A and B are shown apart, each in its own frame.
Chain A
Amino acid sequence: MSKSKFRTDFKIVRDMEKCIKCQACARVCSNDAHVYDNESNSIISYNDKCVGCHFCEDLCPTGALTIKRNIPEIKFNSHWDSYSVYNIIKQAETGGVLLTGMGNDKPFKEYFDHIVLNASQVTNPSIDPLREPMELKTFIGKKPDKIELKYEPYKLEYNKPELKIINYKISTKMPPQLVLETPIMFSAMSYGSISLNAQKSLAKAATEFGTMWNTGEGGLHEDLKPYSKNVIVQVASGRFGVDIDYLESAAAVEIKIGQGAKPGIGGHLPGEKVDTEVSKTRFIPIGSDAISPAPHHDIYSIEDLKQLIYALKEATRYQKPVGVKIAAVHNIAPIATGAVRAGADFVVIDGMRGGTGAAPTVIRDNVGIPIELAIAVVDQRLRDEGIRQQASLIAAGGFRSSADIIKAIALGVDAVYIGTSALISLGCHLCQKCYTGKCNWGIATQDPYLTKRLNPEIGAKRAYNLLRAWSLEIKEMLGGMGINAIESLRGNREQLRGVGLSELELKLLGIKHAGEAW
């Protein structure tokens, strides 16, 4: 066998003055990058096995370990960078498709970083959210086209005609709504792709905070039934775990058509990850590959989509919102309108920075469009067609901070899904090795040695804290703009200005350039 020419990106630096040989690093590394040698009483670290998850670094009691980026340096070449060269080397050795996890990491333009927010000065008062009420409550679902009021004479117990009060009641029947305490929900991450402890952490945090978490396409584990009041269940092309109990226990149903990290690509959960619990939850045999086809084989048109939406609405007796999740691609605006006209109560758009448990690198890095542009064009198209109220709009894919979220809301979405940032709150360090099933943080794995590393009590606290912190920041920013309810910011693009964007970009985003007044 010829020697591998592949080099990894990390270097393990061990400060021998600090290392006490406690072997914690050797015990916990799932990639065997640290190995304790009994004979020489020493710990040997292998750079080529390190994936850069930083678990050992965080655990080391004396701070003796540092994981450094160590990208193999070939002769400088602005076209043939080290990344491309080593990918070719890897493929020359394996002959396979390069796999990866998490979201697109390429240096595409970050539109959020080219958008700035407004604030009140002199002519309109800003609001202090610590002293005045600030409303983040969000309703997800179809809104009626108009509100009809019905006159009902108020009946007084004793007959006094001068006390006759005119009383109006809303006679319009409100379609089912999801009520969120904050416009931030947890993205769909299936049991199978992430561990039960990771799902439990998110479920607990969402329930405590009064927002939603999402099962993903892997079914609802029975341990998570207590959190089903706050769950959006997914019906994807594999139909894993879908039965009437699943649909009935949920707060809403989401049809997954596509995923931002891999539009047009299905899913493949390898058989090794399908243990007893995953098999029970997904309704598939133990050890069998769980394959989600790329398309839904019963959906080849908007009309077909309508059939599934209404089948699910029938099944849930029109008591729950039914939505559609699509990846942001070139034709996103007409597709989203189609979904709304097909009867979706909410449409989720997943941008190209959206994460995944496994995807071909070439797809993740090259397919899809930025979420900022997708939000703007979809919101505008729905408004132009006069059907914006028929569905709520949810954006997903790479929200890094509360500022990204508030900008997305001002561009026109009702709420956002956070996935990657939620996992970071649980410990994830974005090593992008989710597909190996060796996640040291106990998130993207089903290995019992590793899943127990994520204590759902701690995880729930941390995910809750993230929701709380971002909600407080959103309130601060709203207050600065002189707005006291998130409803008043939704689609309020006058609060945004572009910096360093071209005319076309500004037009697509529907915002003015910084410097332009109202």
Chain B
Amino acid sequence: MKKIVINEEYCIGCRLCEVYCVSQHSKSKDIIKTFKSSEDRPVSGIVFEENGYTTFALQCRHCKESPCTTACLTSAMYKNNNEIVLHNKEKCVGCWMCIMVCPFGIIKPDLKNKKVASKCDLCIGREVPVCVEHCPNEAIVLKEK
């Protein structure tokens, strides 16, 4: 399975990965439209870390033994046939156990609807996730692991 690998030494901290992630998960998939109309703006599935000149963008690692899927009461957090960890909003009850157990802290809460707001789905349906495709310095790459 191909996974996203981070080369933090080449991350320039532009945070364009987040911009593309948000627009990819919006209805229109158009950057300007997504950001100009505030109603349709999902939360990005990326957690951006910064300390001095070290920066990197972290997405779900799609762990082999994933604590979030184990902890989920309703199987809202589940693994599909391709070993990709996905989240089903319909089933989510907003207990946020997944957020508690995620060792990388990449699951973000939706405070308003009391649900899980965002999680990387590896841009399911696309060959290459948008963050990988648009990273200007190849700091995020897709690699067979």
Interface residues of A in 41-64 (CB under 8 A from B): 58-59, 61-62
Q: A453 at interface (Cβ–Cβ under 8 A)?
A: yes
Complex contact B138–A27 (CB within 8 A): no
Interface string of B1-33 (1 = CB under 8 A from A): 000000101111111101110000000000110
Q: Which of A18, A20, A59, A448 contacts B14 (CB 8 A)?
A: A59
Q: Once the chains are docked, how many angstroms separate the CA of A380 from the CA of B44?
A: 66
Residues of A within 8 A of B134 (CB): 61
A162 to B13, CA, bound (A): 79
Chain A residues in 8 Å Cβ range of B20: 61
A192 to B134, CA, bound (A): 31
Q: A22-B19, A23-B15, A61-B16 are in contact. Are A452 and B35 (CB under 8 A)?
A: no
B35 pairs with A28, CB closer than 8 A = no
B53 partner residues in chain A, CB cutoff 8 A:
448-449, 452
Asked if A452 meets B15 with Cβ closer than 8 Å, knowing A18-B32, A59-B136, the reply is no
Residues of A within 8 A of B126 (CB): none
Per DSSP, chain A at the interface is: loop
Expressed in whole angstroms, the Cα–Cα distance for A455 and B11 within the complex equals 9
Chain A residues whose C-beta falls within 8 Å of the C-beta of B16 in the assembled complex = 22, 24, 59, 61
Q: Determine whether the beta carbon of B136 is less than 8 Å from that of A452.
A: no
For chain A, which range describes its interface: under 10, 10 to 19, 20 to 34, or 35 or more residues?
Answer: 20 to 34
A458 lies within 8 A of chain B by Cβ = yes
Within 8 A of B (CB), among A327-379: none
Task: State whether A20 touches B35 (Cβ < 8 A).
Answer: yes
Q: Count residues of B near A (Cβ-Cβ below 8 Å).
A: 23
Minimum Cβ distance to chain A for residue B116 (Å):
24
State whether B32 touches A453 (Cβ < 8 A).
no
Q: How far is the CA of A80 from the CA of B11 in the complex (A)?
A: 46
Residues A22 and B35 in contact, CB atoms below 8 Å apart: yes
In the complex, A239→B36 CA distance in Å?
58
Say yes or no for B97: interface residue by CB 8 A criterion.
Answer: no
Does B137 interact with chain A (Cβ within 8 Å)? Answer: yes
If the complex has contacts A24-B14, A28-B14, A59-B14, are A455 and B138 also in contact, measured as CB distance less than 8 A?
yes
The answer to whether A452 and B31 touch (CB under 8 A), given A22-B19, A457-B138, A458-B137, is no
Q: Is B102 an interface residue (CB 8 A)?
A: no
Q: Are A20 and B10 in contact (CB under 8 A)?
A: no
Nearest Cβ on chain B to A201's Cβ, whole angstroms: 12
* Selected A-B contacts with CB under 8 Å, 18 pairs: A20-B35, A20-B36, A21-B35, A22-B15, A22-B16, A22-B18, A24-B16, A27-B15, A59-B14, A61-B19, A61-B31, A62-B32, A452-B12, A452-B137, A453-B137, A455-B7, A455-B139, A458-B138
Those 7 A-B pairs whose CB atoms lie nearest each other, nearest first: A20-B35, A455-B10, A448-B53, A449-B53, A24-B14, A453-B12, A22-B19
Known: A452-B53, A453-B137. 15 other contacts (CB 8 A): A17-B32, A20-B32, A20-B34, A22-B16, A22-B18, A22-B19, A23-B15, A28-B13, A59-B16, A59-B136, A61-B134, A62-B31, A452-B137, A457-B138, A458-B137
